[in-house]
Structure formats: structure tokens, C-alpha cells
Amino acid sequence: MQILDGKLVSQATKDLLAQKVTELKALGKKTPHLAAILVGNSGASETYVASKVKSCAEIGYNSTLLRFDEQISEKHLLDNIQLLNENPDIDGILVQLPLPKHINEELVINTIDPTKDVDGFHPMNVGKMVSGLPTYVPATPYGIMLMLEHYNIDTKGKHAVVIGRSHIVGTPMSILLSRNTKPGNCTVTLCHSQTKNLKELCLQADIIVAAIGRPDYVTADMVKEGAIIIDVGINRVADASKKSGFRLVGDVKFDEVAPKCSFITPVPGGVGPMTIAALLKNTYHASIGEKEHLN
Ligand code: GUN
């Protein structure tokens, strides 16, 4: 069993990007600039956004964090996105999800200029991704593809079971793994809350991507010997022994599943850091006016 070390791969990606930023600056070109919008004060969202902003500084990007109260009106939020759209110094815009219930998430995503949509959530970018055209690919599935590529994992012809059909992870992941790319070329089964024979399907999987948001959901009896396990879950579980009062666990019961696998991502330190590396890659491409192409 080999651990897929997201921290290590993310750092390698960030080192490369830092070098590219140094080159851009030496040529008198603009510094990549990411704007992040955070609404409310959910602990998890705060942590993710803080980590994204910190990573920008580490590799020499500029970043702007706009924080708004939970009660912000939809109009005020949309007006602020419009200002970022019109600001030529801003290359990438991300609005941390989820948003409060009174705000229409779809409208917010549709308001982001698709050329600055480094999360790859705008329907125009989703459409391009589905068509196999160069575009911004959502950061978590993109990060997973980068990790599979880094470890030179052969995915061709394998059966991948993706658990979870969110727009952020499961749906784009299923598309990327099924494409004629390397990594890619999988036969993909996309499972969700209405899937009847989930355990049977998982037992047939060469690759499982768990993105359901339920702690320890995938257990050893659901996993075939030698499977590749990608754990997207970052769940907070109460733990009085921790200063924070919680610990992070994935969607996979790591201790019992790991001995059966060929490769597995840990939580924390697996997919999480790769999401950030992928976002930074998208932002670099936004800054130089180019889109990543996975082919
Ligand atoms: N919430 C959970 N994951 C993500 C992500 O990748 N981007 C944004 N904007 N919000 C998220």
C-alpha cells in the first residue's frame, strides 16, 4: 500500500508556480491576482479560504479577500462580483460555497466573468469541460487528476466508482476520468444517494473516489483487494482531546481500508492540498490568458 501524499505533490506544484511567477515578474509582466469572497463565518469555509489566500502569498501571487456578513443582500454580493469582473488587475475570482440560503448560488456563479472563473463552476466552463475544450477545471477533481498523473498511476480501462454527484466534485470527476486522456480512459460509475447496490458496485471498483461528505462511510467490506482509494471527505468529528474540539476524518475508514489498497489518499494531507494547488494553477493560467488543457 502506498500513500498518495497530497502535501508533497501540492508543494511541488506550488514550487513550479513560484518559479513561473518569478519569471513573469522579471519580464515585467503582471503578478497573478486571486480574489476570494467569503460570506458568513462558517469555520470550515474560513479555514479553506485562509489556506487559499496563504498559498497565494507563498508563491508570490497577489490576493484580495472580501468578507461579507451572513446577512449580505444578494444584490450587494452580485454588485461586488461585477466590480471584480471589471477590475483588470483581478485575474481569478472565487466565491466560497456554500452560501447562505437567501442567496441564489446559481445566479452568483453565473455572474462571475467566465474568463475569471478559476473554480470552473460557470456553465460556460462546465460546457467546455464536457466538450473536452481547454477551460478551467474545478479544483478538486483537477487536483485529483494532477495527483494520479504525478504518481504515474495507470487508469486506462479501469472501473472507477465515484460516490457523490455534486457539481463541485462528483460530476466533474466522473467526466474527467471517462475522457480519452492520461490519466483517464476509465469506465465510470457515478453513484449517489439513490444508488441501490452501492456496496456491490464498490466491490467491482479498481478506483473509488469517495465524495459524499459522510465520515468513515467507505468501509473495508466495500473495497476490493488492490483498489486505488481517493478520499475527498473533510469531515469534522467532535474530539475532546483536541484543542479545537474536533478532528478531521475522511469519507473512508482509513485504518481498515488502507491495508487492502494499492494506493490511498490520507485525510488530512491528501486531496485537500491538491485542491489548492489546482486552484493556483487555474489562477496562473487566468493571469497569462491561457486555459489548461488536460489532453
Ligand atoms: N466549497 C467546497 N469546495 C469548494 C471549491 O472548490 N470552491 C469553492 N468556491 N467553494 C467550495
Alpha carbon nearest to ligand 1 atom 11, residue: 97
Per-residue pLDDT of the chain (295 residues; tens, 9 = 90+): 999 999 999 999 999 999 999 999 999 999 999 999 999 999 999 999 999 999 999 999 999 999 999 999 999 999 999 999 999 999 999 999 999 999 999 999 999 999 999 999 999 999 999 999 999 999 999 999 999 999 999 999 999 999 999 999 999 999 999 999 999 999 999 999 999 999 999 999 999 999 999 999 999 999 999 999 999 999 999 999 999 999 999 999 999 999 999 999 999 999 999 999 999 999 999 999 876 655 4
The residue contributing the CA closest to ligand 1 atom 8 is 96
The finding on whether 96 has its CB within 6 A of some atom of ligand 1 is yes
Q: Got the DSSP string for 83-111? A: HHHH-TT--EEEE-SPPPTTS-HHHHHHH
Cβ of residue 117 lying under 6 Å from some atom of ligand 1: no
Any ligand 1 atom below 6 A from CB of 108: no
Omega of the bond leading into 183 within 30 degrees of 0 (cis): yes
Peptide bond preceding 138 in cis form (omega within 30 of 0): no
**Is residue 97 within 6 Å of ligand 1 at its C-beta?**
yes
Catalytic annotation, pick one of 96, 128, 158, 251: 96
Choosing from 46, 52, 65, 96 the residue with most ligand 1 atoms within 8 A of its CB, the one to mutate for a pocket test is: 96
% of the chain residues with pLDDT over 90 = 98
Cα–Cα distances in Å, from 164 out to 161, 196, 204, 260, 269? 10, 14, 17, 22, 21
Q: How far apart are CA 196 and CA 210, in angstroms?
A: 16
Answer yes or no: are the C-beta atoms of 232 and 211 closer than 8 Å. yes
| Minimal-distance CA residue to ligand 1 atom 6 | 139
Residue 138 Cα to ligand 1 midpoint, Å, equals 9
Is 95's C-beta closer than 6 angstroms to any atom of ligand 1?
A: yes
Q: How far is CA 182 from CA 103, 144, 179, in A?
A: 38, 12, 9
Rounded-to-integer distance, Cα 213 and Cα 24, Å: 39
82 is catalytic: no
Residue-range domains of the chain with CATH: 27-114 (3.40.50.10860), 139-270 (3.40.50.720)
Using CB atoms within 10 Å of the CB of residue 92, give its burial: 0 to 12 exposed, 13 to 18 middle, 19+ buried.
buried
pTM here?
Answer: 0.97
**Binding site membership of 38 for ligand 1 (Cβ less than 6 Å):** no
